[in-house]
């Protein structure tokens, strides 16, 4: 009983001491004074206005805690609000403080609102808050040499032992953060930011961190897109000797106009240390949709990292991408993936190798990042064969050369030109260069082979030079450039030994010309649509073809039909439409074009055939899709080719043929009026020559009579 009595007395004394201590704490705590000093320091050091209209609440049971009500903080100068806070509370265990340990029972922040701004010169509106006290006037390392209030009497300068932090839990709820970039005029808003943790332990001396039940949820908006992020980490422990974790998962979604993206990242079996950290498996799942196109992907790989050196290696990447679109001929496409990734975050470099195979195509890609910010990218892409048309929605029925199909094609092209705007602004801000090689390629029905291209993107401009390839029994060598400034394009190409008819059929769906030879292009244009580009086309072009034909008209047959009309008193022009199957053969054809405002003008057409010579001049209006051209055919021989022996009567005459109308429905008008006049003049000249010869003969006879010879 005596022992119990002694124990009771001791407990009573302890309770009395604690009660007295609590009373002293309450008596010494002056919330208004603390608020005043804090407001003054913020105004003096940061020129910001801090307002705390409510009281600072202090309690010692069950833990020492301070609760703060509404708070507002202004931008520098006090003219605009920077941050507001509804409430905050920090609770700390008392006894561990005596042994230099901080055991925080709870950290709670509610209703935080902040506005972060990156100015046009790159500075942040929180730069003053990020500066250390030593960098501010009056700081410890400032010109005064001593920070104010740091050497009051009785305050020891003896270094204190490193703190041990033990937080039972953290909760940040209903936070809202706005990020504004004044240079790009972009705004990102976090409308809901919630953070929660279980126990958090940190030992500064041992450099260890242990974290339980980390949960982060964010919702926001950037431009016209809404996004959500969720991070979960059940348990994580990090030390210089060892790091371990059960798993870490990150889920993100992005939703915009007719598009959405959902991604999930999972890290499992994490172990290692600051020099060698391993992740048993990194798994990434992607589910994206744009219009009717759906893309799903999965990638996984083990991960090896060196946190101290800031290097990461994904040695064996495997996975696949599934693409589905009801407009694709095969509806679905699956691409298996294999490769590796190496990144050096300290040097801002990375290298990625990926390979895939689908249908008959094999693709190998290498990407090299020379710098993360701003992004500088190098690449090397090698494709053995690729038929792009196989994976694109069909544009319509097979193209033919008849009039009805041409009209349908042009209407579709015109609608596509109106609906499908051209915009090269995506080139701005890109810095990339590399090489592209394709063994065989089909795109928009064009058939190409052995394509080699060097590509450079910088300053809002794309340059492809040199660009070499084989096409339609010939080859091409030249360059291509796109420029976001003015939305312009320039093409320089020298085509050698090309078969022109299949090229024109596949390129522009026109069956106008046959032959094989050389084509030289040096053209440029600008505009926000295909139609605008056609109307602004400028530059030069030249054609030199051998052993071909002009399609749609048989000049030999048309000239044979003229024989019965030459004797008419007055000829009338005759117009005929282009006919499928009709053609005029030639052994040589040359022409040069000067192009301005979408109109190609020619003055020097020269065509040769066994019995014909063809010259011409006129305009080809590419922007309007029509032409107005006068070709002049002259009969120069009467060989059997294309019925030449039947054209003796027209030998020496020039037959004008005017070609007019839209490309899909050209008209050929033989201008007989001019032809008959020329024929009559030729007949008169012939009679004159005959009369002159007769007179000369008679004169000679008279002279003989006079002189007797």
Report the alpha-carbon distance of residue 23 to residue 96 in Å, rounded.
20
Give the pLDDT score at 408: 45
Which residues have a Cβ under 8 Å from the Cβ of 287 and sit 6 or more positions away?
261, 262, 263, 294, 295, 296
Q: Is the pLDDT of residue 12 over 70?
A: no
Q: Which residue has the higher pLDDT, 146 or 592?
A: 592
Strand partners, 222: 188, 225
Give the pLDDT score at 709: 46
Give the pLDDT score at 264: 96
Which of 176, 206, 223 is a domain's end point?
223
Query: Residue 32: which pLDDT band, with cuts at 50, 70 and 90?
Result: confident
Strand ranges (DSSP E) for 80-168? 81-85, 87-92, 101-110, 113-118, 164-167
- Listed range (317-326, 382-391, 507-516) with the worst mean pLDDT: 507-516
State mean pLDDT over 155-162: 52
Sign of CA dihedral 425, 426, 430, 436: negative
Contact between 105 and 198 under an 8 Å Cβ cutoff? The reply is no
Q: Is residue 591 part of a domain?
A: yes
Q: Is the pLDDT of residue 498 over 70?
A: yes
Give the pLDDT score at 45: 86
Structurally, how many domains does the chain consist of?
2
Q: Which residue has the higher pLDDT, 302 or 11?
A: 302
Mean pLDDT of the chain, nearest integer: 79
Q: Is residue 113 part of a domain?
A: yes
Q: Which residue has the higher pLDDT, 588 or 706?
A: 588
Q: Is the pLDDT of residue 690 over 60?
A: no
Q: Is residue 236 part of a domain?
A: no
Query: Residue 329: which pLDDT band, with cuts at 50, 70 and 90?
Result: confident
Domain, as residue range, for 633 = 395-423+487-686
**What is the bridge-based pairing of β-strands 376-387 and 538-551?**
unpaired
Q: Is residue 524 part of a domain?
A: yes
Which of 178, 193, 223 is a domain's end point?
223
Which of 202, 223, 244 is a domain's end point?
223
Q: Is residue 18 part of a domain?
A: no
Counting Cα atoms < 13 Å in the Cβ hemisphere of 226 gives 6
Report the alpha-carbon distance of residue 429 to residue 435 in Å, rounded.
20
State mean pLDDT over 135-162: 45
Q: Is the pLDDT of residue 678 over 50?
A: yes
Report the alpha-carbon distance of residue 188 to residue 167 in Å, rounded.
31
Q: Is residue 390 part of a domain?
A: no
> Phi, psi (5° rounding) for residue 35?
-60, -45
Q: Is residue 376 part of a domain?
A: no
State mean pLDDT over 582-606: 91
State mean pLDDT over 504-522: 86
Give the pLDDT confidence of 559-591 residue by residue, as tens digits: 666 655 554 444 556 665 667 778 888 899 999
Contact between 541 and 595 under an 8 Å Cβ cutoff? The reply is yes
Q: Is residue 29 part of a domain?
A: no
């Amino acid at each position: 009983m005596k022992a119990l009595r002694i124990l009771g007395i001791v407990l009573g004394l302890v309770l009395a001491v604690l009660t007295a201590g609590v009373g002293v704490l309450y008596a010494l705590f002056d919330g208004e004074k603390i608020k005043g000093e804090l407001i003054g320091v913020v105004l003096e050091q940061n020129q910001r206005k801090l307002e705390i209209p409510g009281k600072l609440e202090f309690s010692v049971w069950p833990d020492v805690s301070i609760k703060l009500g509404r708070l507002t903080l202004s931008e520098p100068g006090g003219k605009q609000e920077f941050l507001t806070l509804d409430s905050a509370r920090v609770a700390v265990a008392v006894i561990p403080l005596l042994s230099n340990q901080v055991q925080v029972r709870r950290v709670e922040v509610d209703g935080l609102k902040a506005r972060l701004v990156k100015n046009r010169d790159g500075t942040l509106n929180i730069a003053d808050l990020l500066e250390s006290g030593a960098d501010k006037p009056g700081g410890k390392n400032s010109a005064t040499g001593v920070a104010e209030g740091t050497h009051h009497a009785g305050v020891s300068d003896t270094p204190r032992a490193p703190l041990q932090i033990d937080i039972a839990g953290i909760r940040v709820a209903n936070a809202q953060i706005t990020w504004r970039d004044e240079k790009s005029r972009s705004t990102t808003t976090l409308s809901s930011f919630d953070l929660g943790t279980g126990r958090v332990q940190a030992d500064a001396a041992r450099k260890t961190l242990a974290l339980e039940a980390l949960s982060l949820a964010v919702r926001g908006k950037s431009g016209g897109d809404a996004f959500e992020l969720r991070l979960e980490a059940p348990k994580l422990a990090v030390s210089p000797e060892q790091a371990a974790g059960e798993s870490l998962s990150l889920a993100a979604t992005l939703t915009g106009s007719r598009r959405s993206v959902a991604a999930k990242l999972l890290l499992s079996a994490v172990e290692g240390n600051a020099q060698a950290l391993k992740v048993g498996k990194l798994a990434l799942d992607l589910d994206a949709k744009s219009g009717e196109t759906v893309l799903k992907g999965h990638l996984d790989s083990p991960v090896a990292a060196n946190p101290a050196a800031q290097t990461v290696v994904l040695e064996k990447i495997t996975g696949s991408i599934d693409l589905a679109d009801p407009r694709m001929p095969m509806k679905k496409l699956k691409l298996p993936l294999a490769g590796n990734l190496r990144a050096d975050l300290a040097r801002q470099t990375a290298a990625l190798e990926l390979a895939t195979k689908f249908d008959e195509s094999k693709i190998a890609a290498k990407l090299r990042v020379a710098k993360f910010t701003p992004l500088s990218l190098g690449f090397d892409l090698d494709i053995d064969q690729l038929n792009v048309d196989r994976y694109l929605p069909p544009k319509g029925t097979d193209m033919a050369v008849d009039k009805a199909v041409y009209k349908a094609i042009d209407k579709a092209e015109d609608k596509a030109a109106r609906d499908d705007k051209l915009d090269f602004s995506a080139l701005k801000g890109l810095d990339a260069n590399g090489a592209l090689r394709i063994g065989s390629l089909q795109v928009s029905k064009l058939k190409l082979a052995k394509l080699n291209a060097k590509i450079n993107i910088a300053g809002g401009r794309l340059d492809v030079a040199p660009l070499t390839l084989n096409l339609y029994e010939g080859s091409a060598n030249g360059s291509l450039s796109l420029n976001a400034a003015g939305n312009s394009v320039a093409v320089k190409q020298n085509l050698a030994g090309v078969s022109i008819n299949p090229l024109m059929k596949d390129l522009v769906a026109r069956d106008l010309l046959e032959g094989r030879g050389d084509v030289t292009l040096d053209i440029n244009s600008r505009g926000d649509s295909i139609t605008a580009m056609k109307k602004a086309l400028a530059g030069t072009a030249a054609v030199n073809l051998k052993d071909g034909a002009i399609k749609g008209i048989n000049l030999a047959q048309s000239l044979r039909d003229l024989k019965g009309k030459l004797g008419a008193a007055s000829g009338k022009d005759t117009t005929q439409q282009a006919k499928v199957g009709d053609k005029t053969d030639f052994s040589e054809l040359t022409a040069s074009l000067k192009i301005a405002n979408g109109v190609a003008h020619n003055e020097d057409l020269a065509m040769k055939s066994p019995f014909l010579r063809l010259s011409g001049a006129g305009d080809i209006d590419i922007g309007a899709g029509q032409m107005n051209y006068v070709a002049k055919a002259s009969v120069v021989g009467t060989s059997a080719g294309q019925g030449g022996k039947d054209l003796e009567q027209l030998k020496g005459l020039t037959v004008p043929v005017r070609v007019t109308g839209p490309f899909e429905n050209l008209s050929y008008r033989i201008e007989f009026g001019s032809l008959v006049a020329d024929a009559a003049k030729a007949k008169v000249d012939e009679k004159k020559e005959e009369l002159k010869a007769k007179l000369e003969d008679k004169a000679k006879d008279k002279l003989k009579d006079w002189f007797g010879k």
